[in-house]
A and B are shown apart, each in its own frame.
Chain A
Amino acid sequence: GESVGLHLPTLSVQEGDNSIINCAYSNSASDYFIWYKQESGKGPQFIIDIRSNMDKRQGQRVTVLLNKTVKHLSLQIAATQPGDSAVYFCAENRGTSGTYKYIFGTGTRLKVLA
């Protein structure tokens, strides 16, 4: 079946280094993607989004890249900080007929090493 998944369940990064979290999706018709950060005991928090008519979008310290050819999404975090430690999810819009249903992957845990 169609799914959104992640290549790496856990990523350990040295503080100050850049982090790259990857996500694969299988529905080529998906037109909108979001990255979320979830800290322990909290709900997912919006980080950045990208529409399918874009290849790259930058935010503060974060960049999302979309490769529609291979159906791959990545989140890059520059100068990773201890506060970036969390589980990161990509979400794909699978809605039909103008509706919006977001499907989440299983997540990648980011550990920032001091």
Chain B
Amino acid sequence: AQSVAQPEDQVNVAEGNPLTVKCTYSVSGNPYLFWYVQYPNRGLQFLLKYITGDNLVKGSYGFEAEFNKSQTSFHLKKPSALVSDSALYFCAAGRQAAVNKLTFGGGTRVLVKP
């Protein structure tokens, strides 16, 4: 069975500082990995994905994520956080060449303080 862990329920960061949201996964075979963001009372918005290729993936709104196969991690990063980045972030994983049965982590709430 596949699983995704987001070890931090909440991350607090000052505006302008780097932001990191952690994610580790367990998937048989080659994984595909996603990050989504959710604002209050809204649906999930796609940020970025890793399918194959470069380990550093660049996505929307200045976010990027680094795929590390040996550590089975896919941490989300942003060099300089904005107050508007405050939201709930979800990591999701699935198995390549299979039906899209994504497994989601429990979510990490990010609070960026002015």
The answer on A and B forming one complex is no
B contact residues vs A (CB 8 Å cutoff):
none
A contact residues vs B (CB 8 Å cutoff):
none
